[in-house]
Amino acid sequence: MSTALEKISGQGGFRIVSDTASYTGLQVESIVVNGDCVFTEFYINDVDVLTTKRLSGVTIKQGMYLPTDPGYKITRVKLASGSIIKYF
């Protein structure tokens, strides 16, 4: 498990997503919105949280930081539009 400092500094590396493919099997600590985006899939520890996190149909603005709780990972994402940076 990462420390808070490791999580926000991106010490596990990163990848940019700017397409509409479904990314599965992830072990992502946090996401930064690189360009206003809309998620169509958002899973934490293999559980769909799009509705419970109130992300369904919502435009998330550029610059927003989306962390996970300690011990949890973002495991699947899919964008309808926009761009994100996934931090591992």
Q: What pLDDT is recorded for position 12?
A: 77
- Is 4's pLDDT higher than 70? no
Give the count of domains, the chain.
1
Model confidence pLDDT, tens digit, residues 23-60 = 999 999 999 999 999 999 999 999 999 999 999 999 99
- The domain of 83 spans 4-87
- Is 11's pLDDT higher than 80? no
Confidence (pTM): 0.86
Q: What pLDDT is recorded for position 8?
A: 58
Q: What is the CATH number of the domain that holds 31?
A: 2.60.120
CA dist., res. 31 & res. 29, Å (int): 7
Q: Which helix (H) or strand (E) holds 36?
A: strand 30-44
DSSP state of 60: B
Mean pLDDT in residue range 1-12: 62
